[in-house]
Amino acid sequence: MKLAFSTLGVPGMPIGDVLRCAVDHGYHGVELRAHPEEPLHPGTGAAERAAAVAQFKEAGVEVLGVAGYVKVAAPGDDEPVLAELRALLELARDLGAPYVRVFPGGGTEQSEAEADATAERRLGLGAEYAADLGVRILLETHDSHRTGAAATRVLGTVGHRQVGALWDVMHTWLGGEQPLDTFAALAPYLGYVQVKDIASAEDRTPLALGAGVLPLAEVVEVLSREDWDGWLCWEYEKRWYPAAAELPGQLAAGREHLGRLLHDAA
């Protein structure tokens, strides 16, 4: 498996500094948070995009994905959601990223069936555009569809090769789903896996990998046993927890921890 980290852990950091962190600590790729606070987002111009591509190429680091904030199950009109999704797909295409992350985001005023149908419709419409650009849309296990079983209700109906799943280990754990069951549900769709650690369901302040309660060893063991050979991406949510320790100082230990888990699972 290859290892990456998300720029959510280093909010606003220049791309050159992000790449130095990746190279210095042995990460193969970076997941880019696509928000206006960051150096790269849908409003970034063509010259800046091209310059970033050159930086990644020179560093020998891959752009794993573009992490957007589109909510495909949210109530409301389709077109604003689809326009935002198209912009993210174009950004991913320009950066050479294979994936775009989207959230479910179903509202409490919707029934489960209504949220599913909304997500299915929008993902189906976005899939053809994604196919034309050579990018895959990944629905993250999150909020209204936090388990693999819930995400699969949508993905199975969409049934398009350009629409898959992003397994956020924290959310499936919060949903009470065991790693083996999550993998069984998501395996036909799985793009990559986001790992992290927290103290408890009540305290989700990000911790160093292995310092919290999330079943990371079990997740890696399941993936290894099933011969899954994709990406593990450390999503350290520093942006939402400013008092949390800085990520760069933890990258080496995080890389070593994931290496041990992979060795033990082999």
Instruction: Tell me which CATH homologous superfamily contains domain 2-265.
Output: Divalent-metal-dependent TIM barrel enzymes (3.20.20.150)
Q: What does the pLDDT look like over 39-77, one tens digit per residue?
A: 999 999 999 999 999 999 999 999 999 999 999 999 999
Identify whether the C-beta of residue 177 lies closer than 8 Å to the C-beta of residue 169.
no
Q: In the structure encoding, which two tokens stand for residue 13, read together? A: 């950091």
In this prediction, the residues of the chain whose per-residue pLDDT falls under 50 are none
Q: 132-156, pLDDT tens digit by residue?
A: 999 999 999 999 999 999 999 999 9
**The whole model's pTM is what?**
0.97
Task: Identify each DSSP E strand in the chain by its residue range.
Answer: 2-6, 29-33, 62-71, 99-103, 136-140, 163-168, 190-195, 231-234
Question: From the CB of residue 160, how many other CB atoms can be counted at a distance below 10 Å?
Answer: 17
Does residue 115 contact residue 144 with C-beta atoms inside 8 Å?
A: yes
